[in-house]
Amino acid sequence: MRTAEIKRRFLAHFEANGHTVVPSAPLPAISDPNLLFINAGMVQFVPYFLGQQTPPYARATSVQKCIRTPDIDEVGKTSRHGTFFQMNGNFSFGDYFKSGAIPLAWDLATKPVEAGGFGLDPERIWATVYLDDDEAYDIWRATGVPAERIVRRGKADNFWSMGIPGPCGPCSELYYDRGPAYGREGGPEVDEDRYLEFWNLVFMQFERGPGTGKEDFPILGDLPAKNIDTGMGLERMASLLQGVDNLYEIDEVKPILDRAAELTGKRYGVHSGHAANESHPDDVRLRVIADHVRTSLMLIGDGVTPSNEGRGYVLRRIMRRAIRAVRLLGYQDRALPELLPVARDCMAPSYPELAEDFGRISQYAYAEEDAFLATLRAGTTILDTAIAETKSAGRAALSGDKAFQLHDTYGFPIDLTLEIAAEQGLQVDAEGFRRLMADQRSRAKADAQARKTGHTDVSAYRRIVDTTGLTDWRAYTDLTTESTIVAILTDGEPVPAATEGQIVTVVLDVTPFYPESGGQAADAGHLTGPDGAGEVIDVQRPVKGLVAHQVRVTAGHLTVGARLTAHVDAIWRLGARQAHSGTHVLHAALRQVLGPTALQSGSYNRPGYLRLDFAWPGGLSVDTRSEVEDVANQALRDDLPVTAQVMPLTRARELGALALFGETYDEQVRVVEIGGAWSRELCGGTHVTHSSQIGLLALTGESSVGAGHRRVEAVVGLDGLRYLARERDLVTQLAAQLQAPREDLPERITALLGRAKAAERRADQLARELTAQRARRLAADAVQIDGTLVVSVVAAADEDPRQLAELVRAALAQDRPGVVAVAAPAERGTRLVVATTATTPDALSAVQLVRSALGGRGGGTARLAQGGAPGLTADATLATVAGLIRAG
């Protein structure tokens, strides 16, 4: 029975028994801050179990997509671990309990196939119950399970929770006896390979508190109602009904594994001679590929894109483990174009949307593979050298400095460094690596804090809040307020006053100024009072609820307790509102043109200008950029209403308001709409009241900000008009200089560039010929040192030292030992390249000569090496090389 059919039968059985079929929630656990991904079938129903929300149905059933990654390193080592799986579940919210759940499960499991069931032999099914759960025991007996096949087990096995505070309760598990070929007789307590668990019925009636492990947590009390949460592993049931050993052999996984084996020329499951419970490395890697490719397909399908943080990092790690496993099996070409379509065909019967959206999914996947292959080429060479040096020095661990350099400079993931080092029998100074990472984060955090507060200790602001209360903030309604100075700070210390010329931090009791937040730049404006005035040059919110103004005192003095007028520059605010609303319009236009997965990942806007970062795997074509610009300006022309309202976070989610992944929000949030549902986002910024007030929106740039993420920049309002005017003037100037009509400019410029490139190629060819002639002359003038032909030369400023060295070596007699040393002045030192002929003895190895001449610096092979060192002249370096050759 195919997996898709098992899924269909499960849902049909429970729908026929009064359950509402609920679609799977997307894999990213957006609604639960404790989870990156949905990891259990009941996650989307937690608010109902806890009584936080009223369920719209008393009974539900679903087949939930799940991801579990804590043991990702174990995937493939056995046939039991996987990252993506599907959990069939039926749920009761205060409706039926044990006496309803147990018969429903038994009926579906044992009902004949021709009657719509799974047809499992009832004589081979075992049940387990919690130690003191006599009620479940009696129901199983009444159902027909004999006492000898009902096992009582403890809290570690038969008491369920998610591992975090929340619902919990005793459970009852169903096991199927696969026969003596799979292990010892005696039930689940004896052998859980032979007796395979396929269904877990959780009798959810308690709420647990924090704790560790499966047993160390307190029971806080009863839930508002007794509930049922069951989970039947779809992959496990598929392995039972398809007569295969494990999840890697079912119809949704095995074709991927088979294609990987075909590509790499390996055979799965034929190896012998390994210890019990230990798989052959080839089998491990094939399982890693099959699992991780399928998981990547499902994650990208649900909107996750590769990145260096959060969910995106998990996806990136999974994809890179699969790609590297393919390469370790000997296949060096791009693998995902061969494997991902197979995964699509496996999963599309259950999830047809994967086939419909495969163009987008494959774009992200193939771009990530290309980026990773480039990283591998750069990082692996450096890592291999570091491993060799570590081993030659007799050390057992790669230094944390080297691991950090690989990560920070070359983008080489630390988990990959750990894996490769382990394969070479080395450890990695992970503690040193983590320390360097922590130092880097601390520096970044300190830099950011310095930019925001001028190094002011935020505890000073907390004291202000404790003394005078929170700021009465009126940025949404006013441009001017009558205010009182409640505090003035200089270098983090409160002062009573500030005089002309000083730059200080001023806290007001009431303010109309918008502090920098949500990607919007801070307001500009002035403070004016009877005794002094100041220019507001920055506004921040250093602690929640308090607004701090950085002020340059321009006249007189400002004093704590003084009354003054706080006035926002109206032109500045208008430009800021245009830019922020323009950001929302551009986001909506991108999603309309590219699709709903083109989600914002960051933004910045100031008067007249905006930039928006969003998830997308490749650059936008000229036509696509034009279409996005047209959609945005159509929205401006349509004069869409712009509204903002505060509502509960749950209501905002129900409306589909967009929020940034990774951001945390209060229970009450502000939702900004432009044209109703066309653009609906959580936002705390200032906005226009109608889209036409933005004026116009002109895209000025589009670029990459990392794998899978793009950035678009635009100007709005008068700045947009000025930008287009400058573009017009530039085209006019080019047309006049080239004496060509505007419409002919692209063709004329292309022709000019073609001629220029042809001239560059001719010049390069001439330079190569001149270098080759010089190389032949240098080879002819080679001197002999103890029977070795030696050429020492300082490269000219326009010569490539490596190319010159290789050309001279090629011109030397190849049947004689020969050494070519080319030095070139570099910034604060010298660059040295050494090339040797094939007959040169090992004592004159190129890499050894370079390192000896440069004090240990440099790298390469015995035939070609290079390096650089500060404080050396070219002539002195060549003299050192000559002395080394004489010393032999």
Structure confidence by residue, pLDDT tens digits, 24-34: 888 887 666 56
Among 514-528, 613-627, 846-860, the range with the most confident prediction by mean pLDDT is 514-528
Average pLDDT for 532-554: 93
How far, in Å, are 183, 528, 537, 629 from residue 508 at the CA level?
76, 13, 15, 41
The encoded tokens of residue 522 equal 């801070």
Q: CA–CA separation, 185 vs 125, rounded Å?
A: 13
DSSP 8-state assignment for residue 641: B
Q: What is the DSSP string of 553-593?
A: EEEEEEETT-EEEEEE-HHHHHHHHHHHHHHHHHHHHHHHH
Topology adopted by domain 454-567: Elongation Factor Tu (Ef-tu); domain 3 (2.40.30)
Q: What pLDDT, in 10s, does the model give residues 471-484?
A: 999 999 999 999 99
Distance CA 80, CA 508 (A): 62
For the chain, how many residues are written?
Answer: 888
Q: How large is the angle between the packed helices 414-423 and 430-453, nearest 10 degrees?
A: 170
Render 691-715 in DSSP notation, one character per residue: GGGG--EEEEEEEESSTTEEEEEEE
> In the chain, what is the straight-line distance between the N-terminal and C-terminal CA atoms, in Å?
75
pLDDT of amino acid 278: 67
In sequence order, which ranges of 64-133 are alpha helices (DSSP H)?
98-110
Place of tokens 């309002």: 717
pLDDT in tens, 372-411: 887 777 677 777 788 888 887 788 888 888 888 777 666 6
pLDDT at 451: 43
CATH number of 769-887: 3.10.310.40
Assign domain 573-716 to its CATH superfamily: Threonyl-trna Synthetase; Chain A, domain 2 (3.30.980.10)
Report the mean per-residue pLDDT for the chain: 88
The CATH superfamily of 3-249 is Bira Bifunctional Protein; Domain 2 (3.30.930.10)
Residue 852 has pLDDT above 80, yes or no: yes
Confidence (pLDDT) at 454:
42
CA angle 545, 548, 550 (to 5 degrees): 165
pTM over cut 0.75: no
CA distance 371 to 398: 25
User: Mean of the pLDDT values across residues 794-806?
Assistant: 88
Reported confidence tier of residue 207, pLDDT bands at 50, 70, 90? confident
Is residue 549 within 8 A of residue 661, CB to CB? The reply is: no
How does pLDDT run across 823-837, given as a tens digit for each residue? 998 877 899 999 999
Which of 104-141 are b and which e, b meaning 16 or more Cβ less than 10 Å from the residue's Cβ?
bbbebbbbeeeeeebebeeeebbbbbbeebebbbebbe
- List, in sequence order, every residue forming a beta bridge with 864; answer none if it has no partner: 835
Binding residue ranges for Zn(2+): 580, 584, 683, 687
Rounded to whole angstroms, the Cα distance separating 536 from 549 reads 6
Question: Taking the CB of residue 550, how many other CB atoms lie within 10 A of it?
Answer: 21
Q: Which tokens is 403 given?
A: 């691991």
How far apart are the C-alpha atoms of 512 and 514, rounded to whole Å? 7
- Per-residue pLDDT, 456: 44
pLDDT over 50 (residue 273): no
Looking up tokens 């925001």 gives: 452
pLDDT of residue 662: 47
How far apart are the C-alpha atoms of 574 and 577, rounded to whole Å? 5
Q: Concatenated DSSP letters for 207-226? A: EE-S-BTTTB--EEEEEEEE
597 Cβ contact list (under 8 Å, min separation 6): 303, 305, 360, 615
**What would the two tokens of residue 662 be?**
């990774």
Are β-strands 510-511 and 472-473 bridged in parallel, bridged antiparallel, or unpaired? Answer: parallel
Q: Is 672 helix (H, G, I), strand (E, B) or coil?
A: strand
Say how far apart CA 239 and CA 364 lie, in whole Å: 31
Which of 165, 118, 172, 117 is closest to 150 using CA atoms?
172
Quote the pLDDT of residue 34. 64
Whether pLDDT at 8 is above 90: yes
Is the model's pLDDT at 332 over the cut of 50?
yes
Give the strand order in the sheet containing 697-704. Answer: 600-606, 609-615, 709-716, 697-704
Burial 726-740 (b: 16+ CB within 10 A, else e): eeeeeeeeebeeeee
Q: Report the pLDDT value the prediction gives residue 53, as an integer from 0 to 100.
A: 77
What is the C-alpha to C-alpha distance for residues 567 and 839, in angstroms, rounded to an integer? 82
Closest to 417 (Cα-Cα) out of 707, 409, 426: 426
Amino acid sitting at position 689:
T
Report pLDDT for 584: 96
pLDDT given for residue 277 in this prediction: 56
Give mean pLDDT, residues 90-109.
94
Q: pLDDT band at 868, cuts 50/70/90?
A: confident
More confidently predicted of 492 and 678: 678
Check pLDDT > 60 for residue 71.
yes
Q: Tell me, what's the pLDDT at 778?
A: 92
pLDDT band at residue 421 using 50, 70 and 90 as cut-offs: confident
CA distance 630 to 840: 67
Q: Check pLDDT > 70 for residue 537.
A: yes
Query: Which has the minimum average pLDDT: 344-353, 591-600, 700-709?
Result: 700-709
Question: Regarding beta strands 427-428 and 397-398, do their DSSP bridges make them parallel or antiparallel, or are they unpaired?
Answer: parallel
C-alpha distances (whole Å) from 784 to each of 797, 818, 821, 839 are 27, 9, 14, 15
Reading the block at residue 699, the tokens are: 């895209």
**Mean pLDDT value of segment 249-265:** 94
Cα distance between residue 466 and residue 884, in whole Å: 74
* Residue 458: pLDDT over 80: no
**Which residues have a Cβ under 8 Å from the Cβ of 441 and sit 6 or more positions away?**
none
Asked whether the CA dihedral 253, 256, 259, 261 is positive or negative, the reply is negative
What is the C-alpha separation between 64 and 40, in angstroms, rounded?
7
Residue numbers in the known binding site are: 580, 584, 683, 687
Q: What percent of the chain has pLDDT over 90?
A: 52
- Residue appearing with tokens 């008393």: 58
pLDDT of residue 440: 67
Domain boundaries, the chain: 3-249, 254-375, 454-567, 573-716, 769-887
Say if residue 104's pLDDT is above 70. Answer: yes
For residues 382 and 357, the answer to whether their CB atoms sit within 8 Å is no
Provide the pLDDT for residue 276. 45
- The runs of H, that is alpha helices, within 178-332 are 234-241, 254-264, 281-301, 310-328
Locus of tokens 């063709």: 747
Which of 210-224, 428-442, 681-695 is least confident?
Answer: 428-442
Number of Cβ within a 10 Å radius of residue 223: 19
pLDDT of residue 30: 66
The CA distance from 585 to 595, in Å, is 15
pLDDT for 287: 93
Mean pLDDT in residue range 220-248? 90
The total of other beta-carbon atoms located within 10 Å of residue 243's CB is: 9
* Cβ 225 vs Cβ 85: under 8 Å: no
